[in-house]
Amino acid sequence: QVQLVESGGGLVQAGGSLRLSCAASAGTFSSYAVGWFRQAPGKAREFVACINWNGYSTNYADSVEGRFTISRDNARNTAYLQMNSLKVEDTAVYYCAARDGIRGCGTGSYDYWGQGTQVTVSS
């Protein structure tokens, strides 16, 4: 089992950047695929990006492709989401999640979730 803690959220103007971090409890973080999801007020949670266990495979939602970059540092048990050219519609609570690496990077279910970090983009 792995515990996840997100950080790095905040208030930023449209066009700005933020980097979110997802720190995992020590253990077998390198064996997990990691995903980022977000949920805006009144909307369903949606997939943002994912990365496989070794970082060689990534996937992005169309809405963030080219603006967001997911990465990971297994030596630090941490995954990241670099968000550039932020838009007002990116405002949401962002969650990181993990699942067994054998399942790969994808949009399906994840087994472990963090508590989320708020990202607010102002116009």
List pLDDT tens digits, range 72-86. 999 999 999 999 999
Residues 6+ apart with CB under 8 A from 102: none
Note whether 122 and 13 are within 8 A (CB): yes
List pLDDT tens digits, range 42-51. 999 999 999 9
pLDDT higher than 90, residue 37: yes
Q: Could you tell me how far CA 82 lies from the centroid of its own chain?
A: 9
pLDDT higher than 90, residue 23: yes
**In terms of Cα–Cα distance, which of 64, 71, 68, 57 is closest to 101?**
57
Hey, what are 4's tokens? 């996840």
Per-residue pLDDT averaged across 88-117, rounded? 93
Per-residue pLDDT averaged across 26-50, rounded? 93
Predicted confidence at residue 106, as pLDDT, reads 87
Predicted confidence at residue 102, as pLDDT, reads 86
Hey, what are 110's tokens? 């994840």
